[in-house]
Structure formats: structure tokens, C-alpha cells
Structure 1
Amino acid sequence: MKKQILIIITILTLYSCQNKDKKDSNIIKTIVQDTLSKTVAGTADLSEAPPRDDKAVELIRKQLLVLLKKDLPAMTKEDRFFSYEAFDLNNDKKNEYFVGFSNPYFCGSGGCSGYILNNDGSVINSFTVTDFPILVTASTSDSFYDLIFESRGTFHQMKMRNGKYPSNPSVQEKWKGEIPKESREVLDVNSKKLKKYSF
């Protein structure tokens, strides 16, 4: 009798597992079909989708390990994160990279530090005392778009000269008038839309 009860329990357990697998499979299938149909129709909400961990991240990560080699021993694990945004600053069909930080090691009362890197990872320049985001204007200097940095509540114009942007926006010419509507925001690390990457 005990053997029969054990066999019945085993059969019921196997049957219920099969039905559960079928239900889970059907749910997953329905979600996949729904997502695919929304993606094809262009109605899928991808606003929360993080950027993929791609070659640019590895390039930036390697460069930061070189640039910050002397700082690394003093940094905590929480300090070792960056955000980045790609933007073609000189219309050469290759993106440059704005790299920013949002932690106490790189940020103070005056703002935060960061870098602008070429597509190959080489440094265009570093910057300090900056509040994010950075604005890219439609005007150019030396074939690179002019930038507007906010520093201590004041906007400053940053123009490319001799292959570099100035590193301290707070001492540059103050922006007069309204911010141009055609300006594009980059590196808005405080919006929480940009993913943080470790280095």
C-alpha cells in the first residue's frame, strides 16, 4: 500500500511539474510575442533599456585605468564608476566620448570632473568644476562644436582652440542670453538615464 501511495504521489508531482512548465512556457511565449509585435510596430517602450556594454565602454575603461593610475589606491569601490555619452563633435562620422563621474572623489561644491575622449580613446581634454549636463551648440570653432558648461550656477562658453577645449569652465567667457534651442544635452549623469560602468 505504501508503495502504491508513493507511486501515485510521484505521478501527481511529475504531472503538476509538467503543467507548471507548460504554463510558464505559455506565459514566456506570450510576453515574447507581445514584445516582438510592439518592437516591430514601433510602440515598445525602450526608454528604460540600458545601453549595451560595448567596445566604447572597454575603450573608456582601459583609458581611465591609465589616466587615473595614481588615484586608484586612494579610491573606494564606490568611486570607481563612470557614465559616458557618445557624440560626433567634429562631423567626421566617428563619435567622441564625454565621460563623467558623480561621486565624492570626483565631485565637490564647485561641480564634477570628467574627460572628452577621441574615438580611439586618446584624450581631447579633461574638465573640472562642471555641473551636468553639458550642452553642444550648433556653432563651431576649429571644426568642433562649441560647448556650454554650467559651473557654479553660471553657463560658460567652451570653444576648441589648438585641439583642446578649456579644462576649467568657471574661468571661461560667460554665456550671454538664452541657451540656443537647437543645443543638445549630453552626459546628463544626474537624470539616472545613463548607465554607470565600473573601472
Structure 2
Amino acid sequence: MKRLSILVVLCGGLALTSCKKEKKIETIEPLEEVIEFQEPKADALASDVVLGVSNFIKNELLTDADLKAMTETDRQFKLYSIDLNNDGKKETFVSLSGSYFCGSGGCTMLLLDSNYKLITKFTVMQSPVFVEPTVENDWKVLTVKSGGEWKSLVYANGTYPSNPSVVAKATYDAPSGHAEVVFDEKQLEVYEF
């Protein structure tokens, strides 16, 4: 009898368990991990370059009298950084604008080293500037147009020729197809000092 009652209890328990409603399995949505994109450090580097160039223009290139005489347009510049001597540090071309820096022959352009020290102050420069892969005196050759002629600017004695209009015509009729173009028709950011 004991066996029969144990068997009845077991069968009853089994019947009750099988009669229970099946529990609905809930679908769990996977968590979406939100990854915040951080801007590359290049923006920070670019702003450092802008600040360095701006400080050079205001504190080293110009006097207080120059700054007072300038219009808002005269206080604008564009920049382009490139390693010209393969030392792993970029030099920076600075294109100045406005009537204070520009005339019929072109505009003033600066070339600064990575510490914002002046390498060359170009006068009557017209953009674009072509940075050739050709190296002379350990620096890349620059090709510019001046007075309707192509000029080859070669680095010597710590600088490039500052006035392309007095440089002899280049031996070639156009920049090489391998030159990097500086201040071409691409839109570059305009900064103020």
C-alpha cells in the first residue's frame, strides 16, 4: 500500500507538472553598445599650427602699426603643411591675403619651419605652388608661375629665392605630373590673426 500511495503521489505530481502552462520564453533584445566617436588628434594638431602661425604673424612678422592699419580681410590666411626636407617634420606654407599683402604681381607667402621660424618670405607669389619630388640641396624643388613663365625655386643657403619674378625661367614647360600642389583650387580653411 505504501508503494501504491507513493506511486499515486508521483503520478499526480507528474500530471500537475505537465498540466502547467508552458512558460513563455521572453525574447531578450541584445544590448546595443554605444561607442562615442572621438575626433582624430589631427584637429588638435591643426589648431596648434593655426595658433603658431597666427602668433608668428602678429608677434614676429608685423608691427603694432601694421596691425592697426589692416582691414579685416588683410588679417586672413590659409595654410598648407608639408615635409620639404624629409626630416619627418612639416614645414608650413602660409598664404596671406588682402590688399595689405597682395598686388598686381601676386601676394606675400611665408614658409615656416615646424617651430614657426621663418624660412622664406616670398613676395609677388601666385598660387598654386608645385612641390616637386626632385630634391636639390636636401630640399624639394618648388615650381611656380611668375610673369607667365614657370620658375624653379631651389633651396640654398637656408632659404628659397624670395622673389620668383627675378628667377630665371625654368628649363621645363610645366610642373611634373608628380608634384604635390599647394594652394590649388581646393577650398582651404581661411583663418584670422
TM-score normalized by the length of structure 1: 0.70
| SS of aligned partner of 2:127 | strand
- Residue 192 of structure 1, CA deviation: 5.4
Structure 1 gaps, min length 5: 1-35, 37-50
**Does structure 1 residue 62 correspond to structure 2 residue 22?**
no
Give the corresponding residue for 1:181: 177
Higher helix fraction (1 or 2): 1
Residue number among 105, 122, 129 corresponding to 1:134 in the alignment: 129
Give distance in 2, aligned partners of 1:68 and 1:149: 26
1:111-122 equivalences in 2 (<5 Å): 111-122=106-117
The answer on whether the counterparts of 2:93 and 2:109 sit within 8 Å (CA) in structure 1 is yes
Listed one character per residue, the Cα deviations across residues 88-135 of structure 1 (whole Å, up to 9, x for unaligned) are 001111100000023222111111111000000000010011110100
Structure 2 gaps, min length 5: 1-36, 38-42
- Residue 65 of structure 1, CA deviation: 0.4
**Does structure 1 residue 94 correspond to structure 2 residue 79?**
no
Give the corresponding residue for 1:110: 105
Give distance in 2, aligned partners of 1:88 and 1:183: 13
| SS of aligned partner of 1:161 | coil
1:1-199 equivalences in 2 (<5 Å): 54-66=47-59, 67-69=61-63, 70-175=65-170, 176-188=172-184, 191=185, 193-199=187-193
Give distance in 2, aligned partners of 1:107 and 1:152: 15
Give distance in 1, aligned partners of 2:148 and 2:161: 18
Counterpart AA for 1:134: V
Give distance in 1, aligned partners of 2:182 and 2:114: 16
The answer on whether the counterparts of 2:150 and 2:174 sit within 8 Å (CA) in structure 1 is no
The number of residues matched between the two structures is 150
TM-score normalized by the length of structure 2: 0.72
| SS of aligned partner of 1:132 | coil
Percent of residue pairs identical: 37
Give distance in 1, aligned partners of 2:159 and 2:191: 26
Give distance in 1, aligned partners of 2:74 and 2:58: 13
The answer on whether the counterparts of 1:129 and 1:152 sit within 8 Å (CA) in structure 2 is no
Structure having the higher Rg: 2
The answer on whether the counterparts of 2:142 and 2:154 sit within 8 Å (CA) in structure 1 is yes
Give distance in 2, aligned partners of 1:178 and 1:99: 23
- CA-based RMSD of the aligned residues comes to 2.0
| SS of aligned partner of 1:170 | helix
Give distance in 2, aligned partners of 1:134 and 1:68: 24
Give distance in 1, aligned partners of 2:109 and 2:173: 26
Counterpart AA for 1:84: L
Structure 1 residue runs of 4+, over 3 Å off? Answer: none
